[in-house]
Amino acid sequence: MFSGRPRAVFTVLLVLVVLAAVTPFLPEYVCILLIQALIFGILAMGLDLLLGYTGLPSLGQAAYFGVGAYAVAILTTRYEFGFFPTVVLAILLSAAVAAIFGLIAIRAKGVYFLMLTLALAMVVWGLAWRWTSLTDGDNGITGIPRPELGFDLNSYINLFYFILFVFVLCLGALYVLVNSPFGRTLVGIREREERMQMLGYNVWLHKYLAFIFSGIFAGIAGVLWAYYKNFVTPDDLFIDVSVEALLMVALGGPATLVGATIGAGVIVFLRNYVSIYYSGWPYILGAMYIFTILYLPEGLMGIARRFRRRAETEKLDE
């Protein structure tokens, strides 16, 4: 769907424009949920680069998300850093953590990679929980101010536009990345690693860079999360955040970028609307995992893709 076709790009842009146009007329609570969906969308798209394009199932995205969020919390509340230095430092820190973890994790394959990323993320969670002098432990850090950029980000609609803007930048960057020779090599590695190795590609380096990029996008999502929520707690980087990011990608459709965001949106909206009528969210979440895997192997984007494929063959028949 989103692999270099001008029409696909046009559709996505159209959706974004429509979204930007209608949001001011939506109830404010919906706007808040859209903000969350976009933030988790960035997290999930970053994971999609790793999972969908490179074939590395990371269960540790919460770590970089958390590092980004905590960096913002600590830099703004303790040291009163301004917006730009905070953001740059926070993203650099996420990238640095990803770079260190990547060195360990990339050596492992398949499920070993999965378990290893999980274990490493647990270390970061343990730090957030235990390093009380820095993180205030389980109490979390409250009172993170929204950035002052000349317009009032305390209003949710303005915050929405700001986050939409960052989202579009991330989407654009990822789009360029996956359609670049680098991105095509990643897909090559996913499909046939030995072959790429034989062709002389530095497989390790490609995987490693993908790992770091993925961490950076998780970090960006974490930065936005901290600014949006105004507080962080160790719960923001527990295992279930990583697991849910995986579900977002699978639900939307791996290797589609926008699919991951759609997956994020579906989960955010369901979680918050279902609970109005029914207090058994884990059942629904659990069923979504099972249903997605059994019936939507290509995710929601797969449905659209199936329709289009059939449409195209029909066209050819005529």
Partner 1 sequence: MLQKKFKLFFYTALVAPVAFCLALGTASKVEAQKEIRIGFLTPLTGGGAQLGRDSVNGLKMYLDEIGYDMAGLKVKIIVEDTELKPAVAVTKAEKLIRHDKVHMIVGGVMGSTGYALGALANREKKLYIASIPASDDLTQRKLSKWVLRTGWAGSQPGHPFGKWAYEQGYRKVVMIGADYAFGHENIAGFHRGFEDAGGKIIQKIWVPVMTTDFGPYLPLVKKEADAIYALMIAAMPGPFLKQFKASGLKMAILGGGVTADETVLPNMGDEALGVITPLQYSAALDTPKNKAFVKKFRKLHKKVPSYFTESNYTTAKWIHEALKRVKGDISDIHRFSQEFQKIEIDAVRGPVKMDKYLNPVHNIYIRKVERINGELWNTVVATYPNVSQFWTFDPKEFLKNPVYSRNFPPCNYCK
Partner 2 sequence: MSFWIEQTFAGLSYGGLLFLLASGLSLIFGVMRIINMAHGSYFILGAYIGVTVVEVTGSWLLALLLASLAVAILGIFMHRFFLRVLGHGVAAELPQVMITVGFLFIIQQASIDIWGGDPMIVKVPSYLDWSMEIGGIFFPVYRIFMLVVACVMAVTLWLGLEKTRAGAMVRASVDDSEMTRGLGINTERLSMAIFGLGAFLAGLGGVIGGGFIGVYPGLDFQILPLAFAVVIIGGLGTLRGAALGSLIVGLMDTFGKALFPELSYFTLFAPMAIVLAIKPTGLFGRA
22 vs 205 by CB, closer to partner 2: 205
Using CA atoms, how far apart are residues 285 and 18, in angstroms rounded to an integer?
A: 29
* Rounded Cα gap, residues 179 and 2, in angstroms: 10
**Residue 195 interacts with partner 2 (CB under 8 A): yes or no:** no
Q: Give the Cβ contact number of residue 226 at 10 Å.
A: 27
Write the burial class of residue 283 (CB in 10 Å: 0-12 exposed, 13-18 middle, 19+ buried): exposed
Per CB under 8 A, 296 contacts partner 2: no
Closest CA to 39 of 240, 234, 236: 236
Question: x-or-dash pattern for partner 1, window 114-143, by CB under 8 A?
Answer: ---------------xx-x---xxxxx-xx
Write each residue from 253 to 282 as x if it is in contact with partner 1 (CB under 8 A), else as -, in one continuous string.
----------------x-xxx-x---xxxx
115 alpha carbon, distance to own chain's centre: 19
Choice between 57 and 263, CB closer to partner 1 = 263
Site string for partner 2, 40-79 (x = CB under 8 A): -----------x-----x----------------------
Which of these ranges, 71-79, 170-178, 224-232, 241-249, lies near partner 2 under the rule CB under 8 A? 241-249
Please report whether residue 7 would count as binding partner 1 according to CB under 8 A.
no
Pick 114 or 221: Cβ nearer partner 2? 114
| Distance between CA atoms of residues 42 and 81, nearest Å | 24
Of 157, 285, 298, 305, the one binding partner 2 (CB under 8 A) is: 285
Say how far apart CA 70 and CA 164 lie, in whole Å: 22
CA 284, CA 238: separation in Å to the nearest integer?
A: 20
Q: Which does 173 bind (CB under 5 to 8 A by kind): partner 1, partner 2, none?
A: none
Residue 240: CB minimum distance to partner 1, A: 9
C-beta separation of 230 from 25 below 8 A: no
Residue 5 sits in the site that holds partner 1 (CB under 8 A): no
Question: Do 251 and 296 form a contact (C-beta atoms < 8 A)?
Answer: yes
Minimum CB–partner distance for residue 275 and partner 1 (Å): 5
Q: Which is nearer to partner 2, 279 or 313 (CB)?
A: 279
Binding marks (x or -) toward partner 2, 125..164, rule CB under 8 A?
A: -xx-xx----------------------------------
Element (H, E) at 129: helix 110-130
Distance between CA atoms of 177 and 147, rounded to whole angstroms?
29
